[in-house]
Structure 1
Amino acid sequence: MTSRQRLTLTLLLGSQFMLAVDFSVLNVALPEIGNNLGFSLGNLQWVSTAMMLPSAGFTLLFGRLGDLAGRRKMLLIGMVLLAAGSLVGGLATTPAMLLAARVAQGLAAALATPAALSLLLTSLPEGPLRARALGLNGTLISAGFTVGAIFGGILTSLLSWRWAFFINVPVAVAILLIAPKILAESRGERAKLDLPGAATVTTGLLALVYGVTAAGQHGWGSAAALIPLAAAAVLLAAFWMIELRSEAPLAPVQVLRRSSVKWGNFGGLITFTMESSVIFLLTLYLQDVFGYTPLETGFTFCGIGVAAFVGGMTAPRLIGRFGNRTVLTCGLLLQAVATSLLFLVGNGGGGALTLMLAASSAGAFGHISAIVGYMVTATSNLPDSEQGLASGLASMTQQVGITVGIPVLSSIATARAAASGSVLNGIHDALLIDAVVVLLGAVIVRAGLRRD
C-alpha cells in the first residue's frame, strides 16, 4: 500500500470499529441506565433496538445516496450525527432523550457504514490487497462487539455509563477534521432517486426488524409481531415489483440477481444472525449458570476476540489460495461444527469452561472467515458506480443479521427453559438449532455459487 492508502484504510476502519462498539457498549450497563433514568424492565430492550432499527432500515437507501451525492459527504454527515447523538445521550435525563440519541446513532451508522465500506473498496484495486483490507474490516467489526462489552463494563464500573456516549465525541470530531484531507470525494451519478423504491424498502426493513424484535418480547403469535411482519412481506414484495419497472431503480434487479451478490449476502446473513445469537446465549450461560459478573463475562470473551483477529488475518491468504467462495462455505461449516460442540457444555466446572472457550474460539475463526468471504463475494466483479449499492447491501445484511438473530434464538431458549425449568436446557436447544441453520446455510450457499 501507498502511505495515502494506509491513512485511508486506518481512518475508514477506525470509523467502522467505533460504530461496531456502539452496538454493544451499553448492553452491560442496561440495569444501571434503567435505574438512573426510570426505564421499566420491559422497555430496557429499546435502548438497543432504538439504534438497530434505523441502522438496519436505512442502510440500503443511504448506500445508494452515497453513489448519487458522494460517499465522503455521507460519511461526514454520519460523523456529525454520531457526535451530536452521543453528546445528547451522555447528557440524557429522561428515557425519551436517551432513545432519541440512540436513534441518531443508528442513523449515523446507516450513513457512515456503507459509505466507509464503498470508499475502502474503491480506494484499493480488486485482488489480494482489497481482500486483506476486507479481512481487517471484518475483524474490527467483530472485535468491536466484543470490545464494546468489555469497554462498557469498565466504563460503567469505574466512571459512569454516560462515558460510553461521551467517548464517541472526540473520535467523531477527529474523523471530521482528517477525512476531508485524505479522502477524495466520489463522483456522484446523474440519476434520479427512486423514491417509491426507497420508501417501500426502508419501511419494509423497519417493519421486519420491529416485527422480529416484538416477537422476541411478546411471542411469535402476538399481534405486535404478526402485523409488522405481514406489512414487511407486502412492502418488500412491492419494492421488488417497483424495481422491475423503475427507470432509475434504487437497487437494479440485474445486480440483485447476480449469483455472487445474491448468495454472498445470503451467506453473510446466516453467519451474522447466528453468531450474534451465540454470543448472546453464551452471555446467558456465563452469568446464569456460572454466576459471572458482566465484567467477568466480557473478559471471558477475549479468547473469541483473539480468534477473530487471527481469522481476519488468515482469511485473505486462504482466499488467495482457495478462492472466496470456498472460504465462505468452509467458514460457515466451521462455525456450524463449533456451535454444535457447545451443545455438550454442562452445568459448570473447568472442563465445561474449557470446552466452551475452545468451541467458541473455533466458531469465531469460522465466522470471521465467512465474513471476509461474503464481503469479497458480494462486492467483486462490479463497477465502481455500483459499489455504493453493493456496500449498502453488504452493510444491510450485517445490520439485519445482528438485529434479528438475538430475538429469534432468545425466544427459543426462553420457551424451552420455561417448559423444562432449566436455563441450560433452553441454551442447549437454541444452540443446536443455531448449528443446524448454519449448516444448511453453508450447503445452500455452496450449491448456489456452484451453479454460477
Structure 2
Amino acid sequence: MNGTQHPAPPPRFRWAVLVIAGAQLMVVLDISIVNIALPSIRDDLGFTRSGLQWVVNGYTLAFGGLLLFGGRVGDLLGRRRVFACGVCAFALISLLGGFADEPGQLIAARAAQGVAGALVAPTALALISTTFPEGRQRRAAFGVYGAVSGSGAVIGLLLGGLLTDSLSWRWVLWVNVPIGAALACGALLVLPSSARRRGRFDLPGAISVTGGLTALVYGLVRAPQHGWTDRWTLTSFAAAAVLLVLFLLIEVRGRQPLMPLRVFADRDRSGAYAVTLLTGAALLSTLFFLAQFAQDVMGYSPLRNGVAFLPNAACVLLFSGLASRLTARVGAMPLMAAGAASMAVGLVWLSRLDVGARYATDLLPGLLLYGSGLGLLFVPLSMTAVATVADEDSGLASGLLNTAQQVGGSLGLATLSTVAADSTRDALPFGRPPTRPQLAHALAEGWATALSVSVAFVGSALVVVVAVIRARPGAAARPAEPATRQDTATPTPG
C-alpha cells in the first residue's frame, strides 16, 4: 500500500465493479448504439449521406484524440473525482443531444460526448488496478471489465435496435441520462477516494498529442469517403506525423511529461499495446460489416439484427469470466494466443459469406468463434497493460490501452472500408445499372473480401503475442515499477 489508494471493502466489491464496468459499457456501446439509428436520424434531421458519417466520427475524433490526456487528468486530479465528473458530463450532453433539431447540433453533442468519454474510459480501467487488491478480487473485476468492453458493441446494436424500433432514435442518447446519474452517485458512494497530486500539466505535450491523434483519426475516417490520396487526407496524415514527433521530443526533454516513456520499458506492456492496436483494427470493422450484411443482404430489421449478435456477446461474457480465473494459473500469453487464434478462425469462417448465407450455418459459427476468442483475449490483455505500472502512471497506462484500441479501430475501418468499396465496385456490372440481386451480390462480395483481409490484422496480433509476451502465472503480482525522481509528483488529499 502506498497511501494514495485504499482497497474497496469486501462488502462493496460487487457495487464497485458494477459502477466501473457500467461506466465503461456506457462509453463503449455509445459508438455502436447510434449506428442502428442512423437511417432514422438521417430522415428526421435531414442529414446528407456524406454528413451522416459525422454523427459517428464526431464522437470518434474527440474520444480518440483526448484519451491519453484524460488518463493523465485522472492521475493528477484524482481518479474518482474525474470519473464522476466525466460520467455526469456524458449524461448531461446525451440529454441535450437528444433534443437536437438540426444536424450541426447533433454533431456538436456527439463530439462533446467524446470529450466526456475520454475522461471516463481511462480512469475506469485505472480504478480497477488501484482500487482492488491483487488476487481474486482484481482478477474478477478485470473479468467483468473485459466482458463489457468486448461485448459492448454488440449490446449497443441490440439496444439501439430496440429503442429505435419501439420509441425513437432520440432514446439512444436519452438512455444515458438515468444510467449516468446512477453511476455518478454510485461512484461517490462505493469507490474509494483517490489522491490528488501536486504537479503541472504538460500543456505543450497535451496540445501536441491531442492534435496529432485527432489529425490521425480524422485522416483515417476521411480516407474511405474521399480516397487515400485526397489533399486533405494527406494533409491530416502529415500534420499527425509532425505533431506526434513533436510530442515525443517534448516528452523526452520534459521534467513532468504527460507520457513518461518509462511505461514502454516493460516488454509485456508494450506488446499488449501492439496487440490491442491490431485486434482493434479487426473488432470495429467486423461488427460494422456484419451488421450491414445482416440488414442489407439478409433483410433483417434493426431489432432482429441486434438479436442475431447476442450469441457473440454471450460468448464474450462466458469466456471473459473463464479467462479471469485462468490467468493466474496459466499466465497471460497462452490465453491471449488462444483468443487471437479463435478470432482468426472465426473471421476466416465469416469471410465465406455470400447472398445465400443462412444464419445457423454461415453466420452463427463464425460469431461464436470470434466472440469466444475475444473473451479469452481481452481480460489478460487488459491485465498485462496495467500490471506492475507505478500508481501515478496507472491512468496513463489505461489511456494508452484505450488509445491503441481506438486508433486501431479507426485504422482498420478506414482500410477495410476502402477494400470493401473497391471489391464491390469490381463486382458490379460495367456500363449499366445493377439489378437488385447483382447489387446484393456485389455488396456481399465486398464485405467478405474485407473480412478476409481483417484476418491479417488478427494473425499479426497472434505473432506479436507469441514473439513478445512473456508474462508468467502470477506475473501481475510483481511490485509496481518505481517512478524516477524527476517524474514523481507529491500526492495531496483529494
Which residue is equivalent to 2:450?
430
- Written as runs of structure 1 = structure 2, the 5 A alignment for 1:37-52 is 37-52=45-60
Is the 2:17–2:144 contact (alpha carbons within 8 Å) kept by the matching residues of 1?
no
User: Which of 289, 303, 306 is the equivalent residue of 1:298?
Assistant: 306
The separation in 1 between residues aligned to 2:471 and 2:128, in whole angstroms, is 29
Which residue is equivalent to 1:289?
297
Q: Deviations over 1:192-248 (max 9, x none)?
A: 211111111111110111000000211111112111012111211221121111111
Is the 1:259–1:449 contact (alpha carbons within 8 Å) kept by the matching residues of 2?
yes
User: Which of 403, 407, 413 is the equivalent residue of 1:400?
Assistant: 407
Q: Deviations over 1:277-316 (max 9, x none)?
A: 1111212322232222222211111111111111111111
Which residue is equivalent to 2:246?
238
1:77 deviates by 1.6
Q: Deviations over 1:44-64 (max 9, x none)?
A: 010011111111111110101
1:160 deviates by 0.7
Which residue is equivalent to 1:216?
224
- Written as runs of structure 1 = structure 2, the 5 A alignment for 1:1-400 is 2-350=10-358, 353-400=360-407
Q: Deviations over 1:18-65 (max 9, x none)?
A: 222211111111111111111111110100111111111111101011
Question: Helix, strand or coil: the match of 1:247?
Answer: coil
Is the 1:304–1:361 contact (alpha carbons within 8 Å) kept by the matching residues of 2?
yes
Distance 1:275 1:437, change over 3 A: same
Which residue is equivalent to 1:418?
425
With normalisation by structure 2, the TM-score equals 0.88
Q: Deviations over 1:81-133 (max 9, x none)?
A: 11221111111111111111111211111011111221121111234432221
One-letter identity of the residue aligned with 1:379: V
One-letter identity of the residue aligned with 2:168: S
Is the 1:215–1:224 contact (alpha carbons within 8 Å) kept by the matching residues of 2?
no
Is the 2:68–2:400 contact (alpha carbons within 8 Å) kept by the matching residues of 1?
yes
Question: Helix, strand or coil: the match of 1:25?
Answer: helix
Question: Helix, strand or coil: the match of 1:121?
Answer: helix
Unaligned runs of 5+ residues in structure 2 are 1-8, 429-441, 473-494
1:326 deviates by 2.2
Kindly, what percent of the aligned residue pairs are identical?
37
Q: Deviations over 1:150-200 (max 9, x none)?
A: 111111111111111111112212222232222222112222211111111
Q: Deviations over 1:374-404 (max 9, x none)?
A: 1011111122222111111122223323333
One-letter identity of the residue aligned with 1:417: T
The separation in 2 between residues aligned to 1:284 and 1:173, in whole angstroms, is 33
1:366 deviates by 0.7
With normalisation by structure 1, the TM-score equals 0.96
The separation in 2 between residues aligned to 1:441 and 1:25, in whole angstroms, is 27
The separation in 2 between residues aligned to 1:89 and 1:451, in whole angstroms, is 44
The separation in 1 between residues aligned to 2:14 and 2:174, in whole angstroms, is 28
Tell me which structure has the larger Cα radius of gyration: 2
The separation in 2 between residues aligned to 1:368 and 1:272, in whole angstroms, is 14
Is the 2:161–2:305 contact (alpha carbons within 8 Å) kept by the matching residues of 1?
no
Is the 2:16–2:191 contact (alpha carbons within 8 Å) kept by the matching residues of 1?
yes
Is the 1:271–1:371 contact (alpha carbons within 8 Å) kept by the matching residues of 2?
no
The separation in 1 between residues aligned to 2:30 and 2:120, in whole angstroms, is 13
Query: Are positions 1:440 and 2:460 aligned together?
Result: yes
Deviating 4+ runs (over 6 angstroms) = none
1:349 deviates by 4.5
Is the 1:24–1:149 contact (alpha carbons within 8 Å) kept by the matching residues of 2?
yes
Question: Helix, strand or coil: the match of 1:44?
Answer: helix
1:424 deviates by 2.2
The separation in 1 between residues aligned to 2:337 and 2:124, in whole angstroms, is 26
Q: Deviations over 1:65-91 (max 9, x none)?
A: 111111111112212211221111111
Question: Helix, strand or coil: the match of 1:382?
Answer: coil
Distance 1:187 1:361, change over 3 A: same
1:428 deviates by 2.2
Question: Helix, strand or coil: the match of 1:184?
Answer: coil
Query: Are positions 1:409 and 2:419 aligned together?
Result: no
Q: Deviations over 1:224-276 (max 9, x none)?
A: 21110121112112211211111111111111232122111111121222022
The separation in 2 between residues aligned to 1:349 and 1:419, in whole angstroms, is 21
One-letter identity of the residue aligned with 2:220: V
Is the 1:193–1:250 contact (alpha carbons within 8 Å) kept by the matching residues of 2?
yes
Question: Helix, strand or coil: the match of 2:197?
Answer: coil
Distance 1:193 1:29, change over 3 A: same
